[in-house]
Chains A and B, each alone.
Chain A
């Protein structure tokens, strides 16, 4: 159904404003006169279209007369000259179109006869290559910007790095982390330099803090150094980007000083020479690695000294140990003392320390031994033996495990629990050191004094801190294949054990004189047995010998020994007597005796064969390089061929 619409067409009433005068008056454009408006309208006529409009108009007219819903436009002028005709036609067409559209929409809304469906649209031709090129160009532009920025940053960084001698803080921190344990606690970085993870049970913590070093305020801002100290000596500028702060009690350098010295008349003189002999390098510019290592060493020395001091107080020794301040004094052997001191120099004391002359030098070997002993304690704390079989409990040592099945008694179990303290061990090592020194001295002295049999001593290359071994050969020069006397001396801590040629074992104490006496006795016994060996070579018979002769004067040292030899044909006899104090005496006898005269009691001639009396040989006038050589010459001169 169509609705009738009233349309009114009006011309605008208002005339156009031509001009506005300065006083606000508006001058209207005069409206067009008739002829003028006609001309204007006539210009609007398109004569080429006017005829077709007529034909459409005619057919439209016919349709419209059949239809009641045509417009109420009464004007049926067919004149194309009517100026409103085209307007009217256009309006009518518009109305038609709009009516048709309304009808179509109404029908489509019902969806019974017409349905509105989407027309498949052709996809836009995208031209991907174009897009790619466009994006590429855009990215290239962005990349260029970024690269330029990066280049600039790199250049500035290189410039900075070249100019600056100190490395980056983070690189330094990485290096620090490779060597030391660090952790971050809220804002600060804390490290640990103690031996706790290595098995130490010392209470003192070794925490240090790592901070960034201040920039550039050392050289210019610091006050000038005092004129006395190091004028002209520029401290080496080894600054780094980070600074470590170690606790004040661990600053500086420390070491354990070990002195072995003879008894001092006044004990207080031993206390002076400890401080001040340490190095005073506490230059604040020292590299953090050295600083941390020094602090760790200080902690280690403190723990060691603490342990030794505790033991010194607790142990019951025959001569009690003394702990005074930073020193421990222990008696090693009668007359010899071991002094262990903790030298800790922080370098802050300004007074010059005169180092008084020390009577004995610091013993580096014993200091090293002390360090090793403490490290062993640490090691034992962490490395407990594993159980075998594996289902056993962790902890008991092999001895403990065997104690059950092997029925160990209470004494054995108690013995298992006892262990030697550090102080006892170091005292033992010091004792052995002295024993070895004394034994060497004794043997060297004897070797220098006694040239006739040569004393050759071979010390074992392998030994322990508490036991050494020396093999002594007594032999005569030129006759070493004839006979040599071997001796083995085991040097312990406080005693010596000597195994002689004949298998006898002699235990000696720490007095050096005992060893000396033993060696001298052995020398003279060697002479006698060597003579016997020589006699065998020469063809002489050995008649008798005695190693402990009961004849003659009592010897102050040892016993005299003697032997009697007979020539091959039996006409000469040599008697030799050796003793450590007076040396050698040789006498010869002849058989048959030359001075036989038959007397009242002894009548027959045959008794001359019994042999004459012994006549002593002037041994010092005898030819020969040494005793055996002389004996050899004597024997050869007395040997007659008949």
Chain B
């Protein structure tokens, strides 16, 4: 039996070539005030899959690291862990710049690569030379409709270290909830963007989900 040995690299490159790895994120974002979030949750509960089971809650802690290489642009990496499911792996995520595409695209398209890691990833990144830029805690609800994932979440500032229970020391960043509609798909499946847009239309009077141009946000002093 003289079969050629299939290495892991071969399988990986074959997988990459056949375009099955979801490495693109299609995203639409919006926000609602605290007073309006109940109505939105009710609506989402009716529109999304699995009406019988209630909305899934999540409680995550995210840290953003950056490393400056030889080039001026720092590389941004995000580490996220689930505080309510301690045995699930941590997630290391790279999010690329959104495609400066034509205005006809209904959603933001950006490359997104996420990897499951153990809890030692923070140490690893620190050893590599990354510095933590900021961190925050997110808490909210998750819904799904087909391939689309909708999250309604509130961002909290992480309290000072050593100040009793972390739950008490969380303070919200704003009086509103962030609503995100996202799909992770392999590149080239642009039809999903149309579905996302039509779903966003159904939520229209309650929340306006749209593309947010981050570059314009950065120029605001």
Contact = CB atoms under 8 A, between A and B. Distances in A.
Interface string A376-413: 00000011101011111110001001101110000000
Given A384-B144, A394-B144, A389 B115 contact: no
B154 to A, nearest CB: 13
B89 A383 contact: no
B8 to A, nearest CB: 9
Nearest to B61: A389
Contacts of B89: 401-402, 404-406
B166 interface: no
B116 interface: yes
Interface stretch (B28-36, B76-84, B128-136, B201-209): B76-84
A391 B144 contact: no
B147 interface: yes
- B interface, by DSSP: helix, strand, loop or mixed? strand
Interface in B136-186: 138, 140, 142, 144, 147, 149, 151, 153, 184
Given A394-B144, A394-B147, A389 B50 contact: no
Contacts of B50: 382-383
B110 interface: no
B116 A404 contact: yes
Contacts of A404: 89, 115-117
A394 B56 CA distance: 13
Given A383-B50, A384-B144, A404-B89, A390 B115 contact: no
B114 A390 contact: no
Nearest to A403: B116
B53 A383 contact: yes
B22 A393 contact: yes
Given A402-B116, A405-B89, A390 B144 contact: no
Contact of B60 (A383, A390, A393, A394): A390
B141 to A, nearest CB: 9
Contacts of B149: 394
B55 to A, nearest CB: 10
A390 B151 contact: yes
B116 A401 contact: yes
B114 A391 contact: yes
B144 A389 contact: no
Contact of B142 (A390, A398, A405): A390
Interface residues of A, number: 17
Contacts of B151: 390
A393 B183 CA distance: 8
A383 to B, nearest CB: 6
Contacts of B144: 384, 386, 394
B190 interface: no
Interface in B82-97: 82, 84-85, 88-91, 93
A386 B56 contact: yes
A405 B114 CA distance: 12
A405 B53 contact: no
B199 interface: no
Contacts of B22: 393
Contacts of A383: 50, 53
B207 to A, nearest CB: 18
A391 B117 contact: no
B115 A391 contact: no
A224 B56 CA distance: 62
A406 B81 CA distance: 16
A390 B182 CA distance: 11
Contacts of A402: 88-89, 116
Contacts of B140: 390
B194 interface: no
Interface centre among A383, A398, A404, A405 (most CB of B within 10 A): A405
Nearest to B148: A394
A402 B89 CA distance: 6
Interface centre among B88, B115, B153 (most CB of A within 10 A): B88
Interface centre among B22, B53, B58 (most CB of A within 10 A): B58
Nearest to A390: B58
A389 B153 CA distance: 13
Contact of A389 (B49, B53, B88, B147): B88
B153 to A, nearest CB: 8
Contacts of A382: 49-50
Contact of A394 (B62, B93, B184): B184
Given A393-B22, A402-B116, A388 B93 contact: no
Given A389-B91, A391-B93, A394-B147, 15 more contacts: A388-B58, A388-B84, A389-B88, A390-B151, A390-B153, A391-B80, A392-B91, A392-B114, A393-B184, A401-B88, A402-B88, A404-B116, A405-B89, A405-B116, A405-B118
14 contacts: A382-B50, A386-B58, A386-B144, A388-B82, A389-B80, A389-B81, A389-B90, A390-B60, A390-B140, A390-B142, A392-B114, A401-B88, A402-B88, A405-B116
What 8 pairs between A and B have smallest CB-CB spacing?
A: A388-B82, A404-B116, A389-B80, A388-B85, A390-B58, A405-B89, A389-B60, A389-B82
